[in-house]
Chain A
């Protein structure tokens, strides 16, 4: 869509993918842009593949159909690459941000991406283990998506993680999530 950045998230139930789309939306709004965040609702089960979407725009949006041609695809769970076609409908200049410890060049070949498409890799599982203490790839993925797309400033994202998580979690958990997002922002590579 002209003037609208469309993002598709691929994850599994329980990984915080829907929350990631929500946090991104709130952070984008904090920078004064227009935003949408909506998951694809079905039978919600732990581990089942799911998608969530964002639309980001400078001007107000009236569109309310599904996102079919995303310019940004975030793959929160690397095992989905073998079971779901994450490239479906992606634009020719789409940016893929994948949770993997692998190499962007090799992954691009494996995913059979077009030369005009770009892939970013971040070891979100490893980062979340080191910072949060368990595999919770959503916050590092947010850091990586923000770096790869430059859609908002890292500080805006961190401020929103603090306010979103602040209501539910202890300071220690909030801090570890902030660390996870910041580290992923630094470590994501293309």
Chain B
């Protein structure tokens, strides 16, 4: 963190002269739950991109969904809830667990398990 400005250096009227500087704010540090994206399950529907309140879903130059922007994702879980694929392509894990190297494997297993449970409920 840079040192806060004194009144002499503050822009007149407390104006923010730099557009879009919220990008510099690491709101990802607020996260206690972490979404994990499972690319092979993803149907590229972009629901997560539409619903994400923090613009934390990256999209590449071809318009394809990329991985999460973990610097800004607050871990709200809306993306995982809205994800419509039969076997979920977004799964929530605790931040501690999700940061580990085997997180993706665990996420895949969890997605399959959740799909099974859902089927059972329907039946």
Do A and B interact directly, with beta carbons closer than 8 Å? no
